[in-house]
Structure 1
Amino acid sequence: MRQPKISLLIRRLGFPCLCLRIKKDSDQREFYSLSKNKINMTSSLPEAKGKRCMEAGFGWVLTVSSSGELNLLKPLTRSQIQLPSCTTFPDNQDTDFSDFLFIQRVALSANPSHASSFVLMVIHEWGQFLGFWRPGDLTWTSIEPGIHHFGDVRFYNGIFYAVDRHGDVWAWDESSSKLKCVFGTNPRSFINRDAYLVESSSGKLLTITRDGVLLNEEDDQSYGVNNFKVIQLDVTKCEWEEITCLGNDAIFVGHSSAVAIVASAFPDVIKSNCIYFTDDCWEAYTYREMLGRGGGRLGLGGGEDMGIYHLEDGSIERFSNIESVSFISPPVWISF
């Protein structure tokens, strides 16, 4: 089967491409070009129609339907891997599985395109649990202990690491049936913040925390990012350090995605010591009925808060010429 043109585009670019919302009553997805600063391509993705998409790594995304159907989808080739339904999670109580709060983050241990044995890890049930699936499993398995508020999970040096909203770092590998708390970072850096785990180009594990204005349905105020903080973790020594410079790296964060690239490899396109972000304000997507009652901009959904954060001086460049408002699926960075 002939590959979609988007696959050739991303292969040629070499850096993450921004996949926008699916058009209304269509299976067409728009792709935003950082080099041209505009939407420069659309691609048919019927496999993602009406579903929430979450970046899982290695060019794969997890698609979640409102009925709980789960699949791994590779947009570049439209390959799919069918997964057990959300209904197979232990003690699941949800009925609308496309809700942001059911599955929040996703991580792969290896590229399913090249590995027959891998682990797919998710944060589910309002961030309380980590759950995993391996090829051949008929159900999802939750990892004990649960009842946390996990912010992100990432596979790093053969181990899955998760960070919770208190700043505690947890570890799990396949030889263990339980999570292990490795150490705690600075709690003040995590209060009311979203968190992302990412491996830098030099092999360091970083936590990126995101602070911003949240939605307020009473006065219909604007929302968006105020600042980011970067914490470098040493999981061997159980130490952490807040850093203010990413060197030559640029980091891309968004809904279930965090990836670092070397900016100098893409001169005049990618800016070093910057964080490229997409709209991850789950309230804008989740409170669709409540915010839509009185009309106004908050009833439109999420997808407005996107741009580039300069770590050096804290300035923000907004992506002003993109419209990707949706109740279902946030803009997603897709890498190859």
Structure 2
Amino acid sequence: MDVKLNFRLVNPYTRKCYDLPPLPPYDSLHDSTTYVKGSISEEFYSFESMKSMLVAKAILDRDPSHSSEFKVLMMYGERNSLAFWKLGDPTWTLITVACIFFTDIIFFKEDFYAVGNFYNNNDIYLVNTGPNPNAKHVGPHIKHRGTFAYLVDYMGELLLVQRFRFFFNERFITKRIIVKKIDLEGKSYSEYKPMEGHSVFLGANSCITVDPSKYPTCRKNAIYLTDRPHNISEEQGCKDLWIYDMVEGSFSRYYSARWYIPASPIWLNPT
């Protein structure tokens, strides 16, 4: 994204690029009810203060190198609002859902889904990108007790991972993980009990599930966590880098990072 909010989709391996439309006008990126001209809110919602969180996440429904038709869904702005773009569209199409702050999006079994916070619940929405775009509540009400909620495609099962972070020694540290298995047809959920032994790599970008038999250094039944941008400092680097054992319910550190970068580290699975 450049300073004029223009986007370019880039494949880092093939260098193939696609130009995307710019974001909607900046005034629509914040909650107008809290914005007063000339107030502290105006300074808080300035471009300089907001630019690092204009876009929280963007995902694809198809690999552009294998399909001439693909869509991009993103979470943007103060409330992580939803918008999508498909090849050939001149602008982004906005999807308005009142009072919802979305925390994650996923393309799962040929559909886009989003999880949001609403009245202390984590609710799952089916995102319709057809002629009448909308977000329809399709999942169960799950008590929201974590700091972040993620959607994970775990070998064809949809999991909701709730991550609990606490302020410790001037940093936010993950201290608890809860994993739920979601039944979209029955609109129910259950505690997930790992059996297959796969590993999950969880972070601000798309979550990745891998087979440890193909990656011998990966732990079975483990969730690898990355840090968040606001938790990274020049003095301390990244501190919230952990492996969570889903069987034992324990945490261990996999890397003591000392670097400083102004964004969250991401997982990359070369193909």
Which residue in the other structure is 1:174 paired with?
Answer: 129
Work out whether 1:273 is the aligned partner of 2:221: yes
Which residue in the other structure is 1:284 paired with?
Answer: 231
Q: CA deviation at 1:154?
A: 0.7
Alignment TM-score, normalising by the size of structure 2: 0.82
Q: Secondary structure at the match of 1:91?
A: helix
Q: 27, 45, 56: which is aligned to 1:104?
A: 56
Q: 178, 183, 197: which is aligned to 2:151?
A: 197
Q: 1:330 to 1:90 in 2, by over 3 A?
A: same
Question: Any gaps of 5 or more consecutive residues in structure 1?
Answer: 1-63, 286-297
RMSD after superposition: 2.5
Q: Deviations over 1:205-254 (max 9, x none)?
A: 11111111247xxxx62322112211111111211112142531100011
Q: 1:306 to 1:234 in 2, by over 3 A?
A: same
Q: Which moved more, 1:148-157 or 1:236-245?
A: 236-245
Amino acid at match of 2:219: K
Alignment TM-score, normalising by the size of structure 1: 0.67
Q: CA deviation at 1:97?
A: 8.4
Q: CA deviation at 1:127?
A: 3.0
Q: 1:321 to 1:192 in 2, by over 3 A?
A: closer
1:1-336 to 2 correspondence within 5 Å?
Answer: 64-88=1-25, 91-93=28-30, 95-96=47-48, 99-165=51-117, 166-175=121-130, 176-187=132-143, 190-201=144-155, 203-214=156-167, 221-245=170-194, 247-267=196-216, 269-280=217-228, 282-284=229-231, 298=233, 300=235, 303-327=238-262, 329-335=263-269, 336=271
Q: 1:246 to 1:138 in 2, by over 3 A?
A: farther
Q: Deviations over 1:150-204 (max 9, x none)?
A: 11111112211111122111112333422111133321xx224211111112x11
Contact 2:29–2:78 under 8 Å retained in 1: no
Alignment length, in residue pairs?
Answer: 251
Moved over 6 A (4+): none
Contact 1:279–1:302 under 8 Å retained in 2: no
Q: Which has the higher contact order (CA 8 A, sep 6+)?
A: 1
Distance (whole Å) between structure 2 residues aligned to residue 72 and residue 192 of structure 1: 32
Q: 1:136 to 1:301 in 2, by over 3 A?
A: farther
Q: CA deviation at 1:74?
A: 1.9
